[in-house]
Structure 1
Amino acid sequence: MSRVSASKALAYATGDEMLKLYGVLVGGWLLTFVGQFVLQTTFNAVLSLVSVIVALAGAVAVLVGVVAIAYKLLADGRVE
């Protein structure tokens, strides 16, 4: 295993492709948070249904983001 300098590691972690994946993670987390908050504070049935859908979409986005980051790390590790 070769050594990687700190500047190369930071450049890789803050590259455009990784920032997009981080955005998916943060966006999914925010959707999940908002969906759960609205679900706990509303008494409207339609709004409750929408909040459940939003929370599930956020959870799926977080899962997709984690899998995409893991895949990118593994794929880039094989090439270099």
Structure 2
Amino acid sequence: MADNFALPADEDSSFPAGLVAFGDDGTGAPFCIATSEDQQIYWWSPIDTQVQMLADNLDSFVVRWLTGAITT
């Protein structure tokens, strides 16, 4: 994984820097975790390139996702 961070950013890529995708919402829009220390969870729309914060951390995301509190 460290090698991935060492690679130069693709200037044509619209994927937000500082995020790592770990799954998706079933439509192809990925859930992402921030590489920063706070590790907030985001949803990224590849169609309109918008980012939406979903949870403060992975534990909170899992609870909210399983209880239906998160909808995308």
Per the normalisation by structure 1, the TM-score is 0.24
Larger Cα Rg: Structure 1 or Structure 2? 1
More strand by share: 2
More helix by share: 1
Per the normalisation by structure 2, the TM-score is 0.26
